[in-house]
Amino acid sequence: MAPRKPPERPAPASPSTPSPQRPDPHEGVREANRRERLKALSDAALELFLARGLDGVTIDDITQAAGVAKGTFYRYFEDKAALVDFLLEPVRRELLQGLVTCGEALEAARDVEAMFEAYRAVAAVIASALLQHPGVVRLYLQECHGPAVGARVRLVEVARLISRHAVDITRKAHTHGLLRPIRPAVSGLAVVGAVERLLLAVLSEEEDIGNPLELPDALTTLVLDGLRLPRQGPRPARRKLDGKPGRP
- Domain spans in the chain, listed from the N-terminal domain onward: 32-77, 79-227
**pLDDT tens digits, the chain, 248 residues: what are they?**
444 555 555 555 444 444 455 555 556 777 888 899 999 999 999 999 999 999 999 999 999 999 999 999 999 999 999 999 999 999 999 999 988 888 888 888 888 788 888 888 888 888 888 889 999 999 999 999 999 999 999 999 999 999 999 899 888 888 877 777 888 898 888 888 888 888 888 888 877 777 766 777 777 777 777 666 655 555 444 444 444 555 44
User: Hey, is 196 helix, strand or coil?
Assistant: helix
Round to whole Å and give the CA distance between 143 and 120.
26
Instruction: Give 99's contacts (C-beta < 8 A, 6+ positions apart).
Output: 122, 162, 165, 166, 169
Cα separation, 125 vs 128, in Å, equals: 5
Q: Which CATH number fits domain 79-227: 1.10.357.10, 3.40.50.2300, 3.40.470.10, 3.40.50.300?
A: 1.10.357.10
**Rounded distance, CA 31 to CA 63, Å?**
20
pLDDT of residue 121: 83
- pLDDT for the residue numbered 42: 96
> Class assignment of domain 32-77?
mainly alpha
pLDDT (0 to 100) of residue 227: 62
Q: Do domains 32-77 and 79-227 have the same CATH topology?
A: no
Structural element, H or E, at residue 202: helix 184-203
* DSSP reduced 3-state for 160: helix
> What's the pLDDT at 17?
43
